[in-house]
Amino acid sequence: MIISEDLLLKYGADFSDFQSGETIFSEGSDPNFYFQVFTGTVGLQNLFDDGKELIQNIMTTGECFAESFLFNTKPYNVTGIAITQCSILKLRKNDFYKLLEDNDHLSSMFLKYFSSCLYDKYFMMLNLAAADPINKIQAILNILKRDNNCKKPFSFQVPLTRQQIANLTGLRVETVIRTIKKMQTNDAVKIENGKIFC
């Protein structure tokens, strides 16, 4: 879901810059802004007591994130982290509501967007419940490739590190490395200069 930069600025959005590893918002805090990535990469994650991270989602340039929290009164149940240096467009919650009120077409676009997000969540839950690590990794790669409109084999360079794939799937990084090598042997992915193509 992308709202034009001009429209966001017209309703009072500001740019905020974050360094890699910096927290954008914390789990348990109140959602007060609509966020859209202008440049860079952002992750939504949970941190467990044992130090293990689970990445719920990764967003890049042009994508919004944590917007669903603006439609209820509950606090964030994830933490937003800048994975790379990034610039974020932030629009206050009340200004966001006004933007939607003035632009009906955006409300219907958000419904379609939320529907697509739910579809992907159900798809991921099904595949993450599978025991086979190949299924877990392939599910992530399929969604990424689809979202980037890449249909030809090995035409899409996966923009994730092996650690990020591990954090998204709940697998150990060693398991991800072994599994990707196995997937290469089975012609499911191609590896060139350490980059994964699917």
pLDDT digit string, tens, across residues 64-111? 999 999 998 899 999 999 999 999 999 999 999 999 999 988 988 888
- In this structure, what token pair is assigned to residue 184? 């290469």
Output the pLDDT for position 1: 59
Q: Which helix (H) or strand (E) holds 44?
A: strand 41-47
Residue 137, classified by CB atoms within 10 Å of its CB into exposed (0-12), middle (13-18) or buried (19+), is buried
Output the pLDDT for position 74: 93
Q: Which residues of the chain have pLDDT under 50?
A: none
Contact at 8 Å (CB) between 182 and 175? no
Contact at 8 Å (CB) between 177 and 162? yes
Q: What's this model's pTM, rounded to 2 decimal places? A: 0.74
Output the pLDDT for position 6: 94
- In this structure, what token pair is assigned to residue 8? 């966001």
Of 99, 58, 159, 147, the closest CA to residue 66 belongs to 58
Strand spans (E) along 51-155: 53-60, 64-65, 79-82, 86-92
